[in-house]
Amino acid sequence: MSANGTQQLIAAQDSARQDPNLQPNTPTPGTTHCNQATFDIARAVGAPVGPLSDGHGGPALADTIVDNLKSSDLYKPVSSQAAQSLANQGNLVIAAQPNPVGHGHVATVKPGPDNQGSDPMMNNIGRTVGIMPASHAFNPHLQPPFYYTPTTP
């Protein structure tokens, strides 16, 4: 993608992070909105939303998104090292972590300086909202997140 694509991705991520409706505990204590934020960001940059959708035009739950991305022809897996590079080029990259005993988590890789090689910087909207390394955005007691980018730019 171009510098324009990078700016579009950053703008979509910034908008989602600042959206008062996507903040944790809104409207109900204990709720988080990683699925809605990821869906909104993908839609804003023109990425496929089918695997992120509940089939009725809204976002699927995070666990469903995790499962859908694994089997989707619209997204392909990439390494954690490639994830940051792709995001820096303006490509949407979704990080997805399943949780067999709770709710999974999804976030998008934030364009910008590489953090520490295999630990991409995340645009995280979940229990915490902000820009942080993947190691801080995802549960360290579970398997590391998987990274996916659309199969066509």
pLDDT tens for each residue of 81-140: 999 999 999 999 999 999 988 789 999 999 987 555 678 999 999 999 999 999 999 999
Residue 26's pLDDT is what? Answer: 84
Total number of domains in the chain: 1
Q: Report the CATH number at residue 136.
A: 3.90.1720.10
Rounded mean pLDDT of the chain? 92
Residue 104's pLDDT is what? Answer: 92
> Looking at the whole model, is its pTM more than 0.75?
yes
Q: Is the pLDDT of residue 2 over 60?
A: no
- Please name the residues in contact with 97: beta carbons below 8 A apart, sequence gap of 6 or more: 66, 104, 105, 106, 138, 139, 142, 143, 144, 145, 146
Secondary structure letter of residue 105 according to DSSP: E
The domain containing residue 74 runs over which residues? Answer: 3-150
pLDDT band at 149 (very low <50, low <70, confident <90, very high): very high
pLDDT band at 59 (very low <50, low <70, confident <90, very high): very high
Q: What is the pLDDT of residues 4-22, one digit of tens each?
A: 789 999 999 999 999 999 9
